[in-house]
Amino acid sequence: MNTTQQTLNKIFKNPEQDLLMFDDLSKIDIYEKDEGKFYIKAISKMDEEKKVYDAKTGKGAPEEIVRQLYLVKLTKYYKYPKDLIELEKHVNFGREIKRADIVVYRPDGITPKIIIEVKAPNQENDVQQLKSYLNAEGAPVGVAVNGKARLILYRPYPKDFDDTLDDIPASDEEVEDVLAKRKTLNDLREDDLKETIKTLEELVLANSGHDSFDEIFKLIYAKLYDEKEALSRPNQELHFRKSPTGKPEETKRIIDELFEEAKAEWSDVFERTDKIKLSPEHLSVCVGELQDVRLFGANLRIIDEAFEYLLPDVAKGKKGQYFTPRVVIDMCVQMLNPQKKEYVIDTACGSAGFLVHAMQYVWKHLPTLEARKEYASRYLWGIDFDEKSTKISRAIMLIAGDGKSHIFKSSSLDTREWSDRFKSELADLNLVQEFDDFETNRHNQSTLQHLGFDILLANPPFAGEIKEKHLLAQYVLGKNAKGKLQNKVERHLLFIERNLDFVKAGGRLAVVLPQGIFNNTSQEYVRKHIMQKARILAVVGLHGNSFKPHTGTKTSIIFLQKWAEEDLDAQGNPTVADYPIFFATQKQSFKDNSGNYIFEKDAEGQVVKDEDGNPKYLSDLDEIAEAFVAWGKEQGLSFLK
């Protein structure tokens, strides 16, 4: 490994993620000048030498690395000569003097054309500071960049710097040339979508008077539709873009048309009357930031983090909604080993993480695109009571490659709320269990209490209590030991019973639960109910940091296999009295105490990649999954053969 890569690994936790917007990190040259002190030569008219890392103190200069990488783009890609680039130019604000990180001049060497404000990846782009530099120097274009994302502002003269561009003009171009360029699928890039959304909130959404989540999702679906349609257009041309005229009203007309077509394509996501509520000016700013970001086929980890950020923290806390970390999901999927003709459901699907990872797991064994589409559109099901969560999960499934999905906005706990479409699709695929006894069967066809899914993966909401008598009356766990209806029951307890009813005899479950279920004496009746209905395959205790920064609640995952008919006596009691259970506790956390992900690195400090090319979390959950599979095969578990 060369000096540049070694030094980047010391400055950044994960260089490729922290510097996502740069294609090739090897284009800069870091060298050791004095012992343990590392430098880089800037590409500018002064050829400044900048110190970027001190091995003795361990102090690095991540902001300087971002600046040098952007200087490479300015000179190599946009063709600006270094003689027209100045670093740390003094900008006067009355008596106060500040320094602009990069200034690019017009050919006269005097008139500023572009001003670039640089931040480290862990810092948010300072839009207001950039605007102040632009106004002071009179430059028409400004860039705020932090390595993960960048914002480009321009002045639609005579207005202020309140609009965005998707790119900066090259050395021989002006703003009008950038606006006039046609865009194709090949022009899309993979950006940190969460950083882009944060920028949009600061620029317009927070002050637009409209719900940020709703407006962002309308634009995301319009863009998804455009990327999908571009596949069949000449040259794969994109329409989701700012108008070449630069007029906000024309941009709004284009995006409104795409949104109407997206609503028709995915009619179960939006109401027919839904409209984009942003003003033409605000919409133009958002489109300028989003138009070059790739959605279809993008890294799901990046998309996931952006969508979770969009869910308000207040709502997540009140409802106990916390997206399951993907490394936890991977362990669950590997341990339950879904097959290509098994129906999978998540009864609290959130961002569809369990469904997407089950899909990707099965896809590895499906050779054709048609087979993959058939599996995704037929065998994967999700329910969530929160409208925003269902929009997220549908979008994630679309981005992951599933054109159609069985994602329903409803309560898993109350079948009376289920839509006719949901009920009919269950019936069409024979997912409602049938019974020999006429009355039992008639009752089940009406109530849909017992369903026939093969696998259930879920992280039900922990917060909240159910007090509705009509709902509690439907559940065994809604009553106390004497059979009397309780006044209230914690929501996740009813989810345990409901989840068991969703799965057919012999079906498998993995459910995330609070630790108290497993060791509190007051929860013994819950444990007895579980053992009455299913064999406990495994219990895996998760590290306390797993759901940080949202919550420090201690959790475990219980893995179950519902008793087969031959395992029960005439009264429905299990005949197997004693059996081995796999227990494991996660020791290596994939998050630090602040909730930031920790990635695995090799001996040289390089981030280790998984088989899909994604950075690998530092975790022992994959070892736990492998140990369970080996143990399960020894035990003769049928689904692991």
pLDDT in tens, 457-511: 999 987 778 888 888 888 888 887 777 888 888 888 899 999 999 999 999 999 9
Decide which of 121, 144, 178 is a domain's last residue.
Answer: 178
603 or 419, higher pLDDT:
419
pLDDT band at 1 (very low <50, low <70, confident <90, very high): low
Query: Do 191 and 107 share a domain, yes or no?
Result: no
Q: Give yes or no: residues 105 and 134 share one domain.
A: yes
Q: With cut-offs at 50, 70 and 90, classify the pLDDT of residue 381.
A: very high
Q: Mark whether 350 and 263 lie in a shared domain.
A: no
End-to-end C-alpha distance for the chain, whole angstroms: 42
Q: Which carries the bigger pLDDT value, residue 516 or residue 292?
A: 292
Nearest 5°: the CA angle 428, 434, 436 is: 150
CA distance 197 to 272: 26
170 vs 327: CA distance, rounded Å: 42
pLDDT in tens, 180-218: 988 899 989 877 788 888 888 877 777 778 888 889 889
Q: Determine phi and psi for 338, rounding to 5 degrees.
A: -65, 145
Dig out the tokens for 354 from the structure: 């369990």
Which residue spans within 107-214 are E strands per DSSP? 112-118, 141-145, 150-154, 163-164
Distance of CA 290 to the CA centre of its chain: 16
Residues 337, 278 share a domain: no
Residues 580 and 4: their CA atoms lie apart, in Å, by 52
Tens digits of residue pLDDT in 408-421: 999 999 998 899 99
As a whole number of angstroms, the distance between CA 83 and CA 456 comes to 63
pLDDT tens for 54-68 read: 999 999 999 999 999
Predicted confidence at residue 317, as pLDDT, reads: 46
Tally of CA atoms within 13 A in the half-sphere of 307 that contains its CB: 29
Residues 255 and 132 in one domain: no
- Other C-beta atoms closer than 10 Å to the C-beta of 209 total 10
State mean pLDDT over 577-593. Answer: 93
- CA-based nearest residue to 51, from 71, 69, 36, 73: 36
Q: Tell whether the torsion through CA atoms of 62, 63, 67 and 68 is positive or negative.
A: negative
Distance of CA 351 to the CA centre of its chain: 7
Full residue range of the structural domain in which residue 334 is found: 328-587
**Domains identified in the chain, total number:** 3
Do 93 and 212 lie in a common domain?
no
Using the predicted structure, report yes or no on whether residue 314 has a pLDDT greater than 50. Answer: no
Alpha-carbon Rg for the chain in angstroms: 28
Cα 330 to Cα 118, 337, 541: the distances in Å are 37, 10, 15
Do 398 and 530 belong together in one domain? yes
Residue 114 lies in a domain: yes
Q: Could you tell me if residue 312 is inside a domain? A: no
What pLDDT does 321 receive? 56
Residues 359, 450, single domain; the answer is yes
Would you say 496 and 513 are in contact if contact means Cβ atoms under 8 Å apart? yes
- Report angle CA 441, 447, 448 to the nearest 5 degrees: 80
Q: What pLDDT score was predicted for residue 283?
A: 92
Query: Pick from 290, 312, 346: which residue ends a domain?
Result: 290
Residue 316 lies in a domain: no
**What's the per-residue H, E or C state across 212-257?**
HHHHHHHHHHHHHHHHHHHCCCHHHECCCCCCCCCCHHHHHHHHHH
User: Which residue in the block uniquely carries the two structure tokens 């049938």?
Assistant: 434
Same domain? 103 vs 218 = no
pLDDT in tens, 431-463: 999 998 999 999 999 999 999 999 999 999 877
Same-domain check for residues 170 and 217: no
144 and 37 both lie in a single domain: yes
Assess if residue 512 is contained within a domain.
yes
The tokens for 395 are: 């979008």
CA 502 vs. chain centroid, Å, equals 27
Residue type, 437: D
Contact 390, 213 (CB under 8 A): no
Query: Tell me, what's the pLDDT at 315?
Result: 45
Q: For 346-360, 397-411, 584-598, which range has the lowest pLDDT when averaged over its residues?
A: 397-411
Question: Is 109 in a helix, a strand, or coil?
Answer: coil
- Mean pLDDT estimate for the chain: 88
CA atoms within 13 A of residue 383's CA, in its CB half-sphere:
25
